[in-house]
Structure formats: structure tokens, C-alpha cells
Amino acid sequence: MIRPVLVRRDRVLPATQSLGFVVGILVALVLGAILLWVSDNSPAEVYERMFDSAFMGTDSLSRTLERTTPLALTGLSVAVAGSMGLWNIGAEGQMMAGAIVATGVAMMADGLSGPLLIAVMLASGVAGGMLLMLGPALARSHLGVSEIITTLMLVYVAIRVVEWLQVGPWKDPGSLGFPRIEEVPDQASLPGLFGRVNIGALIALGLLIVFSLAVSRTAWGYELRLAGSSPDTARYAGVSLRRKVLTALLLSGGIAGLAGTIQLTGTEVRLTPGLSNGFGFSGIIVAALALMRPSGVAVVAFVFGAVQVGGQSIQTLGVSSAISDILQAMILFGALVAAVFFNYRIRWTGPVGESSGEELEEPDIAVEGA
Amino acid sequence: MAKKFLLKLLVVLAALTLIAVGCGNDDDAAPAPAPTQAPTEAPALEPTEAPEPEPTEAPMDDGVIAAFVFVGPVGDAGWTWAHNEGRRFAESQTGATTHFAEDIPEDGPDFRNIVVDFIENEDADVIFATSFGYMDAMEELAGEYPDVVFEHASGYKMNEDNFGNFFGRMYQPRYLSGMAAGALTEANQIGYVAAFAIPEVLRGINAFTLGAQRVNPDVEVHVTWTLTWFDPAVEGDSAAALLEAGADVIAMHQDSTAPGLAAQDAGARWVSYNSDMSAFAPDAFITAPVWNWGPYYARIIDAVASGTYAPGAYWGGMDDGIVALAPLAADVPADVAAEIDEVAAQLIDGSWDVFTGEIRDQDGNVVVAAGETMEDGPMLGMEFFVEGVVGSATG
């Protein structure tokens, strides 16, 4: 029987990858047009509205950037862990942990002036994210416990903690019995840049640049990638794996915590159980599409943000939320599939005797070498 | 409708087959830049005839454009479904054009974006938002768009010009549904699947319990919190757990039909909520306190059309028809059914209301003295459970 096997391409140029990204999205748009037509919507009208509300005009662009900021930070969070082969599935929870600690600090220190309070809150948000990651990081580095499970489980713990805080100790007495936490002080709002964009976008951009350089250009980053791709070599070269795992995961948690704090002080007014709003989970897709490279995260986050903003807006044309969700998923899926095919090629393996021995050595699993 | 869909599907399949049979080496030949034609939409100022879309049976198009933002899917059969029925009713009554968006999260930028889209792109004159969590954003938007009317369900904020809130005295039909449930429980244990410990939900549980106790003083109402408005799996599991623990009737403050399905599976009974859900679990169904938003929506749209809109904090009861009781199951005893009708009449003519003393809380403290009736303020901020409720009033 003839079977397809995916084989990693030897060398993939960044230009080829970007092309793959674009082709994937175009194919998805074509398929999406069919979906829209079948569901009695006008593809031209819908795509025009998507494009307009994501890009044209100041408010549109600012909406897309408003979403890009948390997506870029959670994408970076996942990518930092991902550069050494670790999976932080719990950025969603670390966002909450960051926002919880930052809210607590704001309650205690609301007499501080704006800039100082903001700085303290952002720092405590990073600490909060790291704190939630501490357990999974230690369990992974010292006991070998999979961080995928532990980080994911803690997401729900963090959200439940917020639910408890808002009915219990942090319930706002001024909310007429409704369980809500008090608004963060006015002076803690992040200064705006334009439209809906605040300086959180600049912080995200700065961090992306720092981490791109750190991962690709420094000895630290080299060791990180080496430890991920070949632990034995790294150990032979004198790299402490434990320390590397610990640093990568804690940084990952801290960045997600910062993302949560920027949401808290930038776009929201108070801590709620829905504050993380799925951004932490979306960050996994962003990082995967960026092939775990911090340098790619910014672009992917921007496109992802645009797809979300555009996809949501078409409901005003009468497109149902289900169709809008499917359309958004198709576009992202198209990009993901294209990324796979631009990095791997298909080789057809035949039955014994018909193929060369070399091909038979290919393992059975669909994707190898990642 | 279905025919048209099938036809299109067939065309697509045929096209795909052609592509597959043909060469298939070209991906993006067709639609990408899109065959224009769309942007000609005539905006508003042309109230004579709708261009062609939508079979709007406009009795007298008053030119108002109303947009609704829903937190759940319109197919939930519950909360959002009831609001969407209200939208359709208002549209057919007033001839206004209505739009809606569903599944819009309460937190994050989505709500704001969709409302701005409705205003900027569809020229919406009035925005109806139907979930508590939209409140802060509604307040902000009302300030930014002084010419648009903002109406918010279940919140408590408003302003003097263009931002009002509305809700219904659901506790009244809840009380009546409690009477029916109290009459039908044999175990004297009723399970109540509840979403969040907020005053609205506590008020409903208390009213239900008082109603059940009226016909059955031994009844206990066991509450579990799901911490979600709409999650069929969690709602169903919670109901199953309550049934396991000995309840033989399930009541709910949730938006899906899942608790009813769990009750029917266990051979137990069910009081649904939001809408008459009898079709989903006919053997279990007893009755339901239901919403009827349509007339209120139509009233607001008419007021906007005539320029007489003034924001308020509307809290209508059974007298206004915004809340009601669904038909009773056949096996509700005749004397109880008659008593329910009697109490309903009192609630409608205002001679009696549910929170009339003497009422004690879970700890036995008197919260409403004999002969007194609770004012709206304390009712809206209710934070306790009445005697007979088993569970924590803080979630």
C-alpha cells in the first residue's frame, strides 16, 4: 500500500514561509467564500466589511492593535518556553494571576501617583505570572512532570480564585449586592497612544525585540535552543538543563502575567473572571504559527488580531456567530496547514520492494523532526 | 429554505468535483478580490422601501434602526432566545429594522466593537444589550454617542439623557412555579441549579422556595452554583448530582435545557426557566417562569421614533406582562392550580407581593416582619437565603 509520509525540508527560507502564510490565508478565503455563499451571505460584502473594520480608518486599526497587544505578549510567552521545546498551555491562567496580584497591589497602594503605581502594578503582574508558574516549573525541572498538564490545570484554579475574590474578600460594597471587584484607581490607567491603543502596545513591541535578539543572537539564547533540540549535547557542553528549564518557564509565566496586567490597566476597568478572555489560549496558536520564534510573533499576532476583529464585525451584516467562528477558524487553519507544507514535503512510500531502503526507514508517524 | 441550501451545496460539490477532475494546480484564481457590487447600499434616509433584502413585513416603517447584542447564542432556547423572540415581536409591531449579534463576551473589546459597528455602519438609533456584564461599557458608550439610545437589561446604571435599564419581576412567576413544584415533590427535596450568587438569582431562589413552602411546609430547596449562565454540560451534571442526592424535582436559573434532560433521564420533574421548554423534556416538565420582552422593546422603539424617549429604570411585573407563568403540567393537583391562579391575580392587581412577612433567613432571623412587604431597594440588593434553602448565599 502506498502511504504519504511528511519529510522535513532541508532548508526553508523565511521568505518562503511568509509566502506560505499568505497562500494559506488566500486558500482559506476562497473556501470561506463558498461557506458564505452556501449560508446565504454575500462573500464580497462580508470580506469588504472584515477588511474595513480591521484595517481602514483609525478606529479600525486601533481595534486590531488593541487585540494584537495581548496576543503578541501571550504568543511571546508561549514562544519563549517553546524555543526550548517546552509547552506553556497555561498563559490564560498566568494572565489572571498577574492581574490578581496587580489588583491587590493597587488596592494597597492607591495613594501612589500614576506613573509609579503603573510601574508597581506591571512589576507585580510579572511576579504574579511567575508565581503561578513556579510550581509547574519546579515540577518540570526537578521531577520531570509534564508542564503541559500542570500549566493547563492552574488556569482553572486562577479563574476560580477570581470568582472567590469577587464574592468574598474583594467584593465591592458599592455594587448593590452584585459580586464585583472594585475598579482599579483612575491614575492606574495606562496612557493612551491613539484610538483604543495604549502604551501596552509599545511595551509588547519592546519585549518582542528584546526576546528576538536574546533568543537568536546571544549565548543565552543559543544554549536555550540547544537545550531544547538536543539535551544531551547541551549537558555535554556544560549547560545546566534544570536552570534553563526553570528560567524559560518562569520568563514565560512572567510575560503572560504582564499581558494580564496590561489588559487590566489598559482596556478593562476592573478584575473579572473573564479578563483573560481567551487571549492566553490564542497565544498558543500565535506561537505555533510563528514557529516558536519571537521574531515572528508580532506579525502573526497582528494578523490574528485582524481576523478576530474582522470576523466579529461581520455579525452586524447578519452573519451568524457560528459562521463567523468557522470563517475565523478556517483562516487560521489555512495558515497553519500552509506552514506545515512549506516546512515539510510529502513523500509517498510504497510497499516493500517497490521503494528504496532509505524511504522505509522513515518512521510511521505523520510528522517527524519538529 | 432547506431546498435552496441543498441546491447550493450540490452546486458546490459539483464545482469541487470539476476542480478535482481537472488540473487543480491553481489555487487563487477566483474570488479573492471579489466581484464588487456590494457597496451601493443606500444608507438610511430612504424609508420608502427596503431595497430588497429580508422580507420585512413593514406595517408602517418608522425608520428606527435597533441593534441587539446578546451574550449567548439565539438558539439557546433560554435567555437569549427569549430576547430574540422579543426582538422579532418588536420588529413586526413597529416596522423598525433590527439587527443582532450573538455570543458576544462580556469582557474584552468585543462588545464595544460590535456596538460601534452597529452605530457607525448600520446607523443604529437604539442599542439593546442583554447581559449584566455589558454595563460599564454601555455607560461609556452612552457618553460617546449622545444621539443613540442605550437600553441595558439587568443592570443598575443609567443617565439622564440616553441610557436606561430594564428588567422584570421574575420573582413573581418564580413563586408560582414554586407552588407547582412544592405540590409535586414526593421526597420534599427540590434541587435548584443556579448560575451566580447575585441578587437576581437569590431573589428567584427565595421566591421559589416561599412558593413551594406555601403548599408544602416541609420542602427543602438544595442549591448548587455552576458559575456559568450557559454551559449545558455543567448544568446537566449539576442537576444529576442534585438528583443523586435525593431531589425529585429540579428547578434552575440557567439558560440551557440540560437540567431538564437530566431530570427526565432520572424520572424526576423539572421547572424550566426563560421560556416554555416543555418540548425538550415533556415527561419532566411542570411549568416555567418565562420572559416576554417584546412589548417593552416595541415601546422603547416607538418612543425613539416619536422622539419621546426618556431613560428610566424599568422593573415591570406580571401586571405588565413582561414576566409570566407557562402552562402547568396536567398532573398539578386541581386545588393547587386554582390557588396559583388566585395568587397570580393578586400579583397582577397588586394586592399582595411575594416578599411579604413574616420571612426568616437561613439563620432564623426575621428579615421581613409580619404584615410588611419588602421595598424594591432591598429586593434589588438581596443577599440572603430564606429558611428552607440549603446552600450558601455567597456562591
Report strand pairing: B163-168 vs B149-153.
parallel
Q: Report how far residue B38's alpha carbon sits from residue B45's, in angstroms, rounded to the nearest whole number.
A: 18
Does A30 sit within 8 Å of B27, measured CB to CB?
Answer: yes
Q: Residue by residue, what is the 3-state secondary structure of B66-126?
A: EEEECCCCHHHCCHHHHHHHHHHHHHHHHCCEEEEECCCCCCCCHHHHHHHHHHHHHCCCE
Q: What is the pLDDT of residues B225-266, one digit of tens each?
A: 998 888 999 999 999 999 999 999 999 999 999 999 999 999
Q: Is B218 on the interface with A (CB under 8 A)?
A: no
Q: Provide mean pLDDT across the span B346-352.
A: 95
Q: Report how far residue A55's alpha carbon sits from residue A64's, in angstroms, rounded to the nearest whole number.
A: 7
Does A320 sit within 8 Å of B101, measured CB to CB?
Answer: no
Does A30 sit within 8 Å of B32, measured CB to CB?
Answer: yes
Nearest chain A residue (CA) to B5: A38
DSSP 3-state of A39: coil
For residue B271, the cross-strand partners are B251, B287
Q: Provide mean pLDDT across the span B271-290.
A: 95
For residue B127, the cross-strand partners are B67, B150
Domain ranges of chain A: 68-298
> Side-chain half-sphere of A340: how many Cα atoms within 13 Å?
11
Q: What is the pLDDT of residues B136-153, one digit of tens each?
A: 999 999 999 999 999 999
Nearest chain B residue (CA) to A167: B394
Q: What is the pLDDT of residues A350-369, one digit of tens each?
A: 665 444 444 444 443 333 33
Does B113 sit within 8 Å of A53, measured CB to CB?
Answer: yes
Please state, as a whole number, how many other Cβ atoms lie within 10 Å of the Cβ of residue A340: 15
Instruction: Give the closest of B8, B67, B113 to A37, CB-based.
Output: B8
Q: Report how far residue A197's alpha carbon sits from residue A191's, in angstroms, rounded to the nearest whole number.
A: 9
Does A277 sit within 8 Å of B107, measured CB to CB?
Answer: yes
Question: Which DSSP helix (H) or strand (E) runs through B250?
Answer: strand B249-253
Does B114 sit within 8 Å of A316, measured CB to CB?
Answer: yes
Residues in chain B closer than 8 A to A57 (CB atoms):
none
Shortest Cα–Cα distance, A49 to chain B (Å): 9
The pLDDT, as a whole number, for residue B357 is: 87
| Of residues A49, A5, A43, A25, the one with CA closest to residue A311 | A49
Does B9 sit within 8 Å of A38, measured CB to CB?
Answer: yes
Here the ipTM equals: 0.81
DSSP 3-state of B199: helix
Shortest Cα–Cα distance, A370 to chain B (Å): 27
Q: Which residues of A9-19 are buried (b: 16+ CB within 10 A; e: fewer)?
A: eeeeeeeebee
Interface of B with A in 126-185 (CB under 8 A): 132-133, 136, 156
User: What distances in angstroms separate CA B115 from CA A269, A315, B45, B68, B144, one per listed residue?
Assistant: 18, 11, 21, 9, 12
Q: Report how far residue A250's alpha carbon sits from residue A138's, in angstroms, rounded to the nearest whole number.
A: 10
Does B122 sit within 8 Å of A316, measured CB to CB?
Answer: yes
Q: Are B391 and B223 in contact (CB under 8 A)?
A: yes
pLDDT at B58 over 70: no
pTM of the model: 0.82
Q: What is the pLDDT of residues A111-125, one digit of tens each?
A: 888 899 999 999 999
Q: Are B79 and B253 in contact (CB under 8 A)?
A: no
Shortest Cα–Cα distance, A115 to chain B (Å): 24
Cα-based angle A199, A283, A78 (whole degrees, multiple of 5): 100
The full set of domains in chain B, from first to last, is 62-168+293-316 (3.40.50.2300), 171-283+325-390 (3.40.50.2300)
> Side-chain half-sphere of A136: how many Cα atoms within 13 Å?
30
| Of residues B62, B74, B290, B296, the one with CA closest to residue B164 | B296
Percentage of chain B lying above the pLDDT 70 cut = 84
| Of residues A271, A244, A292, the one with CA closest to residue A164 | A271
Which three three-digit cell numbers place residue A86?
A: 517546552
Q: Are A292 and B77 in contact (CB under 8 A)?
A: no
Q: What is the mean pLDDT of chain A?
A: 87
Nearest chain B residue (CA) to A176: B381
Q: Are A309 and A63 in contact (CB under 8 A)?
A: yes
Cα-based angle B201, B104, B197 (whole degrees, multiple of 5): 15
Residues in chain A closer than 8 A to B39 (CB atoms):
45, 48
Q: What is the pLDDT of residues B283-300, one digit of tens each?
A: 999 999 999 999 999 999
Report strand pairing: B323-325 vs B289-291.
antiparallel
Q: Report how far residue B43's alpha carbon sits from residue B144's, in angstroms, rounded to the nearest whole number.
A: 22
Residues in chain A closer than 8 A to B394 (CB atoms):
167-168
For residue B389, the cross-strand partners are B221
Does A33 sit within 8 Å of B121, measured CB to CB?
Answer: no
The pLDDT, as a whole number, for residue A271 is: 94
Block residue for cell numbers 421574575: B170
pLDDT at B52 over 60: no
The pLDDT, as a whole number, for residue B381 is: 86
Q: Is B102 on the interface with A (CB under 8 A)?
A: yes
Residues in chain B closer than 8 A to A59 (CB atoms):
116
Most B CBs within 10 Å, among A19, A31, A65, A176, to test the B interface:
A176
The pLDDT, as a whole number, for residue A336 is: 83
Nearest chain B residue (CA) to A160: B227
Block residue for cell numbers 549535547: A233
Nearest chain A residue (CA) to B108: A277
Q: Provide mean pLDDT across the span A177-203.
A: 89
Question: Which DSSP helix (H) or strand (E) runs through B166?
Answer: strand B163-168
Q: Is B335 on the interface with A (CB under 8 A)?
A: no
